[in-house]
Amino acid sequence: MGIRTLVGMLVAALAVIGLLATQTSYSLFLPGLLQGALLTIEIAVLGSVLAVVMGVLAALARLYGAAPLRWLATVYVEIFRGTSALVQLFWLFFVLPQFGLLMDAFTVAVLALGLNVGAYGSEVVRGAILAVAPGQWEASIALNMSRAQMLRRIILPQAFVAMIPPWGNLFIELLKSTALVSLITLTDLAFKAQQMNQSTLKTVPIFTLVLLIYLVMSLAITIGMRFLEQRASAGLSRGRAA
């Protein structure tokens, strides 16, 4: 799908929200929902940053780390990929305090979702690094670069382009997983909607708005990633005919 179509969808979604907001039966709920959306965005953004950091670190550790580091990274990836995000949230929020480690709900939300998605992300990063042509490594060795120099200057910039679309998927997954945080006392967009629905029973306007707000957020991610992809691949395919 072209970036124009995506931007068109985003504008349309915003326009529908604007249109609905002219009716009091809808506008009534908008401030509360936006308040919930703000928390959702905060958790999604911070969680995504943590996911990228963890994904890159775990991938590098698994590929090039010394044995203990490699082992640690594998344990991390398998645990956080192999158990559900919900269980991880509960563990960090309800179980760890039993061992004396107490964190506030927001921190737990960012940590659990970031670590969870980072575990998937490490496979994305690892795959993209391994997909760089072997000749690029060989040329770097022939130029006597160190392992760190090769990675930083030659391999990662090329792997980066291949990583962008799958990371876009993961960011959207993370955005949607934020709905789980209501279970550890946070009032995110989905939970706000449930609360409002229970007290007012205005199911149609509330969940119509919720759907549109989620759509706007995920479209924003998709468009952002598409821009990033275009910019990054421009350097690689500059002037390439056909």
If one asks whether residue 67 binds another protein (CB under 8 A), the answer comes out as no
If one asks whether residue 135 binds another protein (CB under 8 A), the answer comes out as yes
Both tokens assigned to 26: 């809808």
CA–chain centroid gap for 203, Å, is: 29
If one asks whether residue 65 binds another protein (CB under 8 A), the answer comes out as no
Least Cβ distance, residue 62 to another protein (angstroms) = 20
Q: What are phi and psi of 71, to 5 degrees?
A: -65, -45
Of the candidate residues 32, 127, 157, 165, the single one contacting another protein (CB under 8 A): 157
Interface stretch with another protein, choices 71-79, 174-182, 197-205, 234-242 (CB under 8 A): 234-242
If one asks whether residue 153 binds another protein (CB under 8 A), the answer comes out as yes
Both tokens assigned to 54: 């963890």
The candidate with the shortest Cα–Cα distance to 117, out of 157, 156, 76, is 76
- For residue 26, what are the CA distances in angstroms to 17, 32, 195, 198? 9, 11, 16, 16
If one asks whether residue 146 binds another protein (CB under 8 A), the answer comes out as yes
Least Cβ distance, residue 149 to another protein (angstroms) = 5
CA distance 140 to 80: 34
CA distance 189 to 122: 28
CB 6 within 8 A of CB 219: yes
CA distance 120 to 50: 12
Least Cβ distance, residue 143 to another protein (angstroms) = 4
Least Cβ distance, residue 156 to another protein (angstroms) = 10
If one asks whether residue 238 binds another protein (CB under 8 A), the answer comes out as yes
If one asks whether residue 38 binds another protein (CB under 8 A), the answer comes out as no
Interface stretch with another protein, choices 35-43, 54-62, 137-145, 165-173 (CB under 8 A): 137-145
CA distance 34 to 94: 28
Of the candidate residues 11, 38, 49, 143, the single one contacting another protein (CB under 8 A): 143
Of the candidate residues 142, 198, 199, 201, the single one contacting another protein (CB under 8 A): 142
Residue in this structure with the two tokens 């991610």, named with its chain if needed: 221
Residue ranges in contact with another protein by CB under 8 A: 133, 135-136, 138-139, 141-147, 149, 153-154, 157-158, 235-240
